[in-house]
Amino acid sequence: MNVVPDTSAVVDGRISGKVDDGEFTGATILVPEAVVSELESQANDGAESGWSGLSELQRLADLADDGEITVEYVGRRPGPEERGWAHRGEIDAVIREIADERDAVFVTSDLVQSEVAKAKGLDVEYIAPKTRDVSSLSIEEYFDETTMSVHLRAESKPMAKRGEVGDMHYQEIGDEPLTEDELEEYGQEIVQNAKQSSEGFIELDEPGMTIVQFRDYRIAIAEPPFADAWEITAVRPIVKTDMEDYEFADELKDRLLERQRGVLISGSPGAGKSTFAQAVAEFLAGHDFAVKTMEKPRDLQVGPEVTQYTELGGEMEKTADSLLMVRPDYTIYDEVRKTDDFEVFADMRLAGVGMVGVVHATRAIDALQRLVGRVELGMIPQIVDTVVYIEAGQIEKVYDVATQVKVPEGLMEEDLARPVITIQDFETGRPEYEIYTFNRQVVTVPLTEGESDEGGVDRLARQEIEREIQSVARGRVDVDLQGQNKAVVYVEESDISYVIGKGGGRIEDIENRLGIDIDVRTHDEKPSTVDSGGGGGGGVAQPHGEVVTPEITARHVVIPIDGHAGETVEVQADGEYLFTATVGRGGDIQVSRGSAIAEELERAIDMERQITVVTE
């Protein structure tokens, strides 16, 4: 009997299994060179399937040496064009032709391939991908009831994060370093069990990185050259909660059930954000809402009534398009990190879907600020109306987000009224922040005492006055605020006439734009208590944070800040707040030249002010 296996049957190890069972004993196994080519390509790319298939070919060779079967390699290697169209079935067609020409039984574990081969009149044996019950994984021995994650690395001692939610400690859990062979054995066992068990699946399989979901465990396997050594990280939830376990439970439940909401669940890594998101998902599903999740990887521990989706075709945008056809009442988005994620979240929310997003943030307000610049400012309250901040597994703060047309807090002139995003404490109803556009710049102003040494409005007013005067002055400019609607500006004596303008016209225009009276004087008239860096009369601001050296390119001002990718930070000049930004994946902040923020930053650089970045 002649047998022609395709790539799926070889990868799944089914041919040697059939020989062991006696079904293919004495058969001639005709292995197409196209199969060898595919396996070689997959192995070179670091895919586990390639190595599994090559191991099966070695087992067939051993069976041939024992005289139980005959193995022949037949056909031709596919050319570059055929390999390039492999996903369109070109190589499958080559393998089917060989089975037809050799009058062989065609063996496959690919259902589509099986149906096509039957339609072509071939003698087909379809073997469904095998699954089996797996009692446990070897790495589970490293876990106890307090272990959230296990970290294994070649030539290092096993480590784990253990403790309670919000109080985790990274500690050694073994006396001897692990070898690369041990890590590789663990990795192969995990991948094979995920393939063969109905309780596991491979979430991601890229060269150098494989992510597996097995029961409650999310396992990342990294290997060279992607990583500098073999490394396995296994994570599992150590608690499962429901809404009743949290403060404000009744109020939040009423809010979620009232109508579809836009919610951001924020907190530091390990604070319990995903645990709370799981509780929200199950609460909503239990109250007649259709609930879905969008996750990469899928690791929320939700009940069977909640369908968990991942990236479709490598894009969450395609997943969102599919979900809009399904029309869920609520979608849990875990995690919202990149600009594309925020845009997808906003699109689905504006389409009427209730959205609950999980966001990394070190303060509740930072979660909302991550939307600034990514979506139109006036749309933010329509996208997010509730912010929940989690700390140590508990709800630390809840914000209510809304829009009002008003004069921002602290400003006096009625013609300064504008749309203002108000952020109120959910429990007390007390306003804590305002976000609005001030002279082309989006600003976040704290309204509570203790948030800033200088009042938010005072700081903004001083910045705007300095910016306006600096645009017409050639030398240094200092500003001293005398109240809510008056300021004294100190400039070089040679700049007095430029700043005031003919008949006072220029300074009058500036006063009208800013809604504040400005008295222009020389630096010689400045009292000694007024700082020389625009400190507003309160003494010199002391810079703190990490000192950085910005680079000015043709299109951007680039601020390097290694080790803080994804974090929200403050940029300061001589200790004075300039703006808030999110550090990019490359470990830097890029500000487009020509923007108001870039102009202010470049001006600070030209004046040789010390630029610092303050992280939480």
Query: Is the model's pLDDT at 337 over the cut of 90?
Result: no
Contact 462, 534 (CB under 8 A): yes
The string of pLDDT tens digits covering residues 385-407 is: 999 999 888 899 999 999 988 88
Residue-level pLDDT at 87: 44
Mean pLDDT of 29-49: 82
* Identity of residue 150: V
The string of pLDDT tens digits covering residues 23-38 is: 888 999 999 998 898 8
DSSP 181: H
Question: How is residue 506 written in tokens?
Answer: 């220029």
DSSP 246: S
pLDDT above 90 as % of the chain: 28
Question: How is residue 406 written in tokens?
Answer: 């008003």
Mean pLDDT of 268-291: 89
Query: Is the model's pLDDT at 290 over the cut of 60?
Result: yes
Contact 225, 208 (CB under 8 A): yes
What is the pTM (predicted TM-score) of this model? 0.55
Q: Which residues pair with 381 in a beta bridge?
A: none
User: From the CB of residue 194, how many other CB atoms can be counted at a distance below 10 Å?
Assistant: 24
Q: Which range has the worst mean pLDDT, 41-45, 440-444, 457-461, 601-605?
A: 457-461
- Of 219, 227, 230, 202, nearest to 140 by C-alpha is 219
DSSP 1: -
3-state DSSP helix/strand/coil % of the chain, to nearest 5: 35, 30, 35
Mean pLDDT, the chain, whole residue set? 83
Mean pLDDT of 260-272: 88
CA–CA distance from 410 to each of 351, 447, 538 (Å)?
36, 9, 19
Residue-level pLDDT at 275: 87
Q: CA-CA distance, 370 to 577, in Å (whole number)?
A: 18
Q: Which range has the worst mean pLDDT, 267-276, 411-420, 578-587?
A: 411-420
Contact 213, 237 (CB under 8 A): no
Beta-sheet pairing, 200-206 with 167-172: unpaired
Torsion, Cα 252 256 262 264, to 10 degrees, reads 30
Mean pLDDT of 48-73: 89
**Angle at alpha carbon of residue 174, lines to 170 and 178, rounded to 5°:** 105
Q: CA-CA distance, 375 to 73, in Å (whole number)?
A: 58
Contact 285, 305 (CB under 8 A): yes
Q: CA-CA distance, 591 to 571, in Å (whole number)?
A: 11
Higher pLDDT, 376 or 576: 376
User: From the CB of residue 446, how many other CB atoms can be counted at a distance below 10 Å?
Assistant: 16
Question: Which pLDDT band, with edges at 50, 70 and 90, does 414 fall under?
Answer: low
Beta-sheet pairing, 147-153 with 231-235: antiparallel
Beta-sheet pairing, 576-582 with 588-592: unpaired
Q: List the end-to-end C-alpha distance of the chain, in Å, as a whole number.
A: 70
Q: Which range has the worst mean pLDDT, 41-50, 286-295, 313-322?
A: 41-50
**What are the residues whose beta carbons fall under 8 Å from the beta carbon of 573, sequence distance 6 or more?**
601, 604, 609, 610, 611, 612
Question: Which pLDDT band, with edges at 50, 70 and 90, does 314 fall under?
Answer: confident
Q: Which range has the worst mean pLDDT, 111-115, 173-177, 196-200, 456-460?
A: 456-460
| Alpha-helix residue ranges (DSSP H) falling in 216-359 | 249-258, 273-285, 316-326, 339-350
Q: CA-CA distance, 278 to 284, in Å (whole number)?
A: 10
The string of pLDDT tens digits covering residues 434-479 is: 888 876 677 788 886 544 444 445 666 777 788 788 888 888 888 8
Torsion sign across C-alpha atoms 115, 117, 118, 124: negative
Mean pLDDT of 562-581: 80
